[in-house]
Structure 1
């Protein structure tokens, strides 16, 4: 992992969890797998603080642990899990767009908790919704638990929520490891009655209380299925978390649909949307291709209001398959190129972008050919070309006629190494995101006294609103002077601008990371 990515992880951990947790998290990120005693010795922190920090990181799905062959429990931090916190607003907004306000609050609660029981998440969501209805004075009846439970089940079916990995205990009942995922489908097993229990009591719970299957039936069952049902019921409700990979899958699909609409037309994007929706739960989110679908399956799934005949659908499918083979992979590459071109435009100008597009289209081009095809004066073209070459946006390949590589007998071809440029810009995005977070924290720290004063004034005003004391309310509002209000407005605008920049940077990071992960496929294992 690069230094700038570590810096971004450090800033994210400090902002979200404080200095102690950030110290432990950074040590694990830098040292991979480490036992508890080693963490305490190297960080020179109190063992109790280290344990609490590790518990927080495990709770937030940032750290995993397992028992090594030497018998020690070792801890490992996941850097991507730290950076995914930057996308929490996107996850919440996506859940609201797809499934409504209740789903938004459910996903928000699970993201804040890291992992918890569905019963706890449902109860808190119901409470928040009913409090919101009461505050607004709406005549809508109170939200029931059953409605939110159904919403949670829908999120599980859409694979936006999943079960957490179970833990392994030793003979003394001490947790020593997390279970390995052998069958991923089991993580999306629909929630049962006992999954919605709020708390797990210390005593054994009867199967009749926690399972939807009658106790008499369980006693009559034989084999592994019956024992599994009974053991699940005795164990109580399992823990659940947000499946961020499925959200990333959805973001990728939306970007591909937008690309199809831009390249072909709106109807083609509807065909692509249908195909991606059908394969959404049949495909592993990290796969570069979708599931196989038949023509009848695609045609029947297209919304009727789109008014597309079988012939029209067939033509669009042929267009997508003939002109855009491996569309998922190519679309991700096109999105990455679009992000790179935006950077080139901002950094070098429109003329340099014209030259860059020539290099992308022609692959290997001599300097004179770049000048001619970009229709630029030789002096200006040479200056821009070598400027991009100096900053590693363009690479140079030498092809010599003779073994001595004399310049007079050597051809020089300019080209673009997309993977190299994507990595370079990704590192710059990491650095920029870390700088934005530092700048935002500094802005808040410099105006902390003023922000605290505004918070106190707003708290007093809200209490006076409840008491209907209009005269006192005006006096309290005057405690904040006009100059202070002007400064508060400036701080608010700066914070909004920095938060927007952070979201835009994260979007670029997501596109580039997706392209790199699709390009760098793991090598097949050699057969011995």
Structure 2
């Protein structure tokens, strides 16, 4: 469940980017969960036409995903519901960083094409071409061919992907599993949140998501599969029956594309890891980690936060970096093992090193949140917060007072304020002995902290 501060931020972003009416529908979905069109109309008190148009705008900008479920009590009849994609909404703050990533990797031409998708949401290749050509004085077949090549570079690099299935079916299995899980207890596999189930059902295979377009502007993908999904999307748009289908796509028989947020977040995470290591462990450690990350194709790695590279490939990349030519093999090996804490293994004649970026990411996130807490709540709150981060488990009020040397009254006020603002979780424990005593245990609310960072 997302914290109230996160919900407020998401609604604020939609209000600023897409307007008050669209934000009203988005807020309704964020606070109430998945809803049908009729439920959106009832809760928002908008007209059915307004609600439809707002949902179309949110889908167009990848902020809402439609999906179908069985009508309660039926085994065959389905209905369409809509769910807000909280992470996608927050990613809108990172659009300038996404553009910088592509500009650095593929140049200004790739940046211009990506900008069209970020500003307008889902577009066909023809729409993207028309948008770009409208800003230039020249328009020729050679320019279009150049744009196609630049677009294929975006697709090949996984910065752009084909849009997911417009209305995947999510079966009732999750409810059955949830009931089964409650009966079996903690030994069962955790049930995925509905949003994650919907996104998994909507996701295309990598072969479909990243199929490049041919000279004719069509995808190089299985025709039967493509026709099926295009027909499904066309039926969904026609289902609104109010003329608003143009706000989604003017070319129903063409493939829609969008920015691949997942790829950009991975790029930014890696960059943040390098910067964090460089600031904590020095320039050489940052250079070696950056070289290690660049040696492999992360798209083919199941766990994208794990980096696995051979010493030979690491050295080759290090030599290309500023100052890397002066690093000896022993110096690189020492940093990999002693500072970056990589695990080493030997295959044939090669030594391989593995590093889990999750630890670096968590450390970086903690530093960001600590800075935020100090700026908002003061130095004493920072000391308490830092203690709870280091402990990693619930800590009783008296222990916090003893370790941080903060007056008990001040500590209680700070803890209550952080708990009220959802940065901490509190557990009340009643002790029975000579008398009844209440103890308060405090720990970090990691879910909210992830949203902050």
TM-score between both structures, scaled by the size of structure 2: 0.67
Post-superposition offset of 1:261: 0.6
Matched, 1:270 2:277: no
Q: Which residue of 1 aligns with 2:332?
A: 313
Deviations 1:79-125 (A, max 9, x none): 32223222222222332233332222211110122111123223423
Q: Which residue of 1 aligns with 2:95?
A: 88
Q: Which residue of 1 aligns with 2:312?
A: 296
Q: Which residue of 2 aligns with 1:388?
A: 414
More strand by share: 2
Structure of higher CA gyration radius: 1
Matched, 1:332 2:367: no
Among 209, 215, 224, the alignment partner of 1:193 is: 215
Native 8 Å contact 1:96 1:104 kept in 2? yes
Q: Which residue of 2 aligns with 1:32?
A: 33
Between 57-66 and 38-47, the greater mean CA deviation after superposition: 38-47
Inter-partner Cα distance in structure 2 for 1:368 and 1:35:
49
Native 8 Å contact 2:68 2:167 kept in 1? no
Deviations 1:433-482 (A, max 9, x none): xxxxxxxxxxxxxxxxxxxxxxxxxxxxxxxxxxxxxxxxxxxxxxxxxx
Post-superposition offset of 1:182: 5.2
Inter-partner Cα distance in structure 2 for 1:5 and 1:326:
31
* 1:178-217 → structure 2 map (5 Å cutoff): 180-181=202-203, 183-195=205-217
Inter-partner Cα distance in structure 1 for 2:41 and 2:391:
57
Q: How many residues align?
A: 376
Distance 1:105 1:288, change over 3 A: closer
Between 324-333 and 12-21, the greater mean CA deviation after superposition: 324-333
Q: Any idea what SS the aligned residue of 2:212 has?
A: coil
Q: Any idea what SS the aligned residue of 1:68 has?
A: strand
Inter-partner Cα distance in structure 2 for 1:252 and 1:370:
32
* 1:332-411 → structure 2 map (5 Å cutoff): 332-347=361-376, 349-350=378-379, 353=382, 357=386, 382=408, 385-392=411-418, 404=433
Inter-partner Cα distance in structure 1 for 2:285 and 2:23:
47
Native 8 Å contact 2:25 2:51 kept in 1? yes
Q: Which residue of 1 aligns with 2:157?
A: 158
Native 8 Å contact 2:307 2:356 kept in 1? no
Deviations 1:325-346 (A, max 9, x none): 9641221221222123223433
* 1:207-286 → structure 2 map (5 Å cutoff): 237-277=254-294, 278-283=296-301
Native 8 Å contact 1:276 1:290 kept in 2? no
Post-superposition offset of 1:313: 2.7
Q: Any idea what SS the aligned residue of 1:153 has?
A: helix
Inter-partner Cα distance in structure 2 for 1:231 and 1:359:
52
Q: Which residue of 2 aligns with 1:10?
A: 11
Inter-partner Cα distance in structure 2 for 1:233 and 1:361:
51
Inter-partner Cα distance in structure 2 for 1:92 and 1:25:
25
Between 323-332 and 252-261, the greater mean CA deviation after superposition: 323-332
Inter-partner Cα distance in structure 2 for 1:424 and 1:127:
43
Among 119, 133, 136, the alignment partner of 1:112 is: 119
Native 8 Å contact 1:118 1:240 kept in 2? yes
Q: Any idea what SS the aligned residue of 2:308 has?
A: coil
Structure 1 portions without partners, runs of 5+:
134-140, 170-176, 196-209, 213-223, 427-508, 512-528
Between 297-306 and 257-266, the greater mean CA deviation after superposition: 297-306
Q: Which residue of 2 aligns with 1:471?
A: none
Inter-partner Cα distance in structure 1 for 2:167 and 2:392:
54
* 1:121-200 → structure 2 map (5 Å cutoff): 121-128=128-135, 130=136, 144-167=143-166, 180-181=202-203, 183-195=205-217
Inter-partner Cα distance in structure 2 for 1:323 and 1:252:
18
Q: Which residue of 1 aligns with 2:184?
A: none
Inter-partner Cα distance in structure 1 for 2:284 and 2:434:
54
Post-superposition offset of 1:42: 4.5
Structure 2 portions without partners, runs of 5+:
71-76, 169-197, 232-251, 344-353
